[in-house]
Structure 1
Amino acid sequence: MNLETLENEHFSELNETDKEIIQFINRNRAMVRESSLAAVATESLFSKSSIFRVCQKLGLTGFSQLKYLLQEEANQVQDVNIDFVSQTVKSVLWMSNQFKSTKLEDIYKILSDASNVFIYSTGWEQQIVAQQLQRNLYLAGKMAFSFPSAVDEMSLQRTHIDANDALIVISYSGMNETVLKMVQNFNLQGVKTIAFTSFRQNKLSQIASYNLYYDTVAKNVQYQNRKEQFFSDLHVLIDLFTMGLINYISKTDSRRLKRSDDDDWYSK
């Protein structure tokens, strides 16, 4: 998905000011992808809120996703002799900074309170990560069940998931229609859904209750001389996510213990 595609899809929703902002972005792509929202607002003479609203009208979550989209477009035209180690380090650092700025209290509370946690993944690499996440949740004191990466098996288990449970879906494209329909059905049943998905624009991020984002690094490999995706971001993301959950549970338990001790003291 590129910026031109989004502009064409949402053109009828744009007013004249929106179109002027988009024209500025198209003329200054390099500056926009390297600048903050405040800097772009100052340079363009449009307000930060106006630029942010344009991003949302294009179907993006906000200015950060616009910058990411522009960066992806730039990467596609870079020289083939790219340093993939540096690119991977940069990608992991970017994902980590995005993670640090994400409000996670609600997600952690859902997982902490859930009767059961279920994990569903699409793809071979995502299935490996799902099993690692299952192990991490166990270390955090939460039992989780990771479904095989097959939608039919997930459908068979659907009646066993209710509003007291949480469902984590790991998908890179976020565009599988069968998975999207499954998540929508769970939403209707009151099940809280948490998506680990690409920062690129995708439908799963729009319908899931909560989202955590990662990226992949594409590299040509000798095997059949083809381009493969490497999921370094996702592996680091689930570890960061679990460490945060462990911290949340520990703090919650400490507060409960303190309240219990206070109640005991006042009752004496």
Structure 2
Amino acid sequence: MMFQPEEVSKLNTLESLVFDFIIKSPEKIQEMTIRDLASQVHVSTSTIVRLCTKLGFEGWADLKFYIKGQFREKTPEEQHYDNMLEFDMFLRRMNTQQYQNKLNQAAKMIAKADYTVFLGLGTSGSLSDYATKYFVNTGIRSFVISDPFQAIQVKGLGEVVAVILSVSGETDQVVNKELEFKAEGAKIISITNNEDTTVAKLADLQISYNLVMEWSKQYPLGNLTTQLPVLAILEILSHKAIDFVVQDS
């Protein structure tokens, strides 16, 4: 859906929530009246009217008609645009007080821990390795587990926080390792695309980024969901955590 970035940037917090729902559920909104949408997203109908106007449409019906016309095979350029728009909406959500409170809570857990352990497989494994280097460079003692068969032995290391990275939140090897961490007494922070997953539900604190999943057209199992939100979360957590460490020292 080719909305103009300069128009999207004018949206306030409530309008951004509505816009986020629209781009994630284009088929669902085709059956919705403006009152249905207002009830679904918990805003007023006037908020939706302002959203439509800011995006250059005459009203809700005009916006729905435009979105209906977008149901076709997307070019790679349009798909790339949608991915960047998704990331922009994530940044807006991340800057809300509610999301910042969750990041602060996670950062305090890491700051109090003697060690932070990162775990992930595939792309998440590469991000875990990157996070470990980044956290160590920040001044936080960290290490990574990238082998799903490596035994979990953290008893005797003091207080340990395990940061579990998983896009799907349902990979069996990751869930099993998370259970091992819990059995060893580690605190768990999960970073997943969706909070309604096994990995997130097992965690002491879950952080999600809620993007539309993207898959490769040539390789059906190729998950191409952008991991830019994960990088942002990890880097922000490292800076927040070391700030808490400094404050307590």
Q: TM-score, normalised by structure 1?
A: 0.59
Assess if the C-alpha contact under 8 Å between 2:214 and 2:225 holds in 1: no
Assess if the C-alpha contact under 8 Å between 1:96 and 1:237 holds in 2: no
1:108 aligned residue: 107
SS at match of 1:145: strand
Assess if the C-alpha contact under 8 Å between 2:132 and 2:143 holds in 1: yes
Q: Structure 1 CA distance, aligned partners of 2:182 and 2:155?
A: 14
Q: Structure 2 CA distance, aligned partners of 1:114 and 1:147?
A: 17
Q: Which digits, 9 at most, give the CA deviation of each residue in 1:96-134, with x for residues without a partner?
A: 233233122221111112111111102x21111111111
Assess if the C-alpha contact under 8 Å between 2:191 and 2:208 holds in 1: yes
User: 1:1-268 alignment to 2 at 5 Å?
Assistant: 28=32, 32=37, 36-39=41-44, 78-81=71-74, 83-101=78-96, 102=99, 103=101, 104-122=103-121, 124-148=122-146, 150-153=147-150, 156-160=151-155, 164-199=159-194, 201-214=196-209, 215=211, 217-218=213-214, 220-221=216-217, 225-227=218-220, 228-232=222-226, 234-250=227-243, 253=246, 255-256=247-248
Q: Structure 2 CA distance, aligned partners of 1:95 and 1:125?
A: 20
Assess if the C-alpha contact under 8 Å between 2:116 and 2:163 holds in 1: yes
Q: Structure 1 CA distance, aligned partners of 2:178 and 2:158?
A: 13
Change (3 A) 1:115 1:157: same
Change (3 A) 1:200 1:87: farther
SS at match of 2:153: helix
SS at match of 1:173: coil
Assess if the C-alpha contact under 8 Å between 2:131 and 2:234 holds in 1: no
SS at match of 1:110: helix
SS at match of 2:191: strand
Change (3 A) 1:96 1:160: same
Instruction: Using the TM superposition, give the Cα deviation of residue 173 of structure 1 relative to its aligned residue in structure 2, in angstroms.
Output: 1.5
Higher-Rg member (1/2): 1
Change (3 A) 1:202 1:217: closer
Instruction: Using the TM superposition, give the Cα deviation of residue 217 of structure 1 relative to its aligned residue in structure 2, in angstroms.
Output: 4.9
Instruction: Using the TM superposition, give the Cα deviation of residue 248 of structure 1 relative to its aligned residue in structure 2, in angstroms.
Output: 4.7
Instruction: Using the TM superposition, give the Cα deviation of residue 164 of structure 1 relative to its aligned residue in structure 2, in angstroms.
Output: 0.5
Paired amino acid for 2:32:
N
Q: Structure 1 CA distance, aligned partners of 2:33 and 2:166?
A: 29
Percent identity of the aligned residues?
10
Structure with a larger share of its residues in helix: 1
Q: Structure 2 CA distance, aligned partners of 1:230 and 1:34?
A: 32
Paired amino acid for 1:28:
M
Structure 1 spans left out of the alignment, 5+ residues: 1-24, 44-73, 258-268
Change (3 A) 1:220 1:116: closer
Assess if the C-alpha contact under 8 Å between 2:111 and 2:244 holds in 1: no
Structure 2 spans left out of the alignment, 5+ residues: 1-28, 49-66
Instruction: Using the TM superposition, give the Cα deviation of residue 238 of structure 1 relative to its aligned residue in structure 2, in angstroms.
Output: 2.5
Q: Which digits, 9 at most, give the CA deviation of each residue in 1:151-196, with x for residues without a partner?
A: 221xx23355766101011111111344324323433543110111
SS at match of 1:174: coil
Assess if the C-alpha contact under 8 Å between 2:167 and 2:192 holds in 1: yes
Assess if the C-alpha contact under 8 Å between 1:121 and 1:147 holds in 2: yes
SS at match of 2:143: strand
Change (3 A) 1:247 1:191: closer
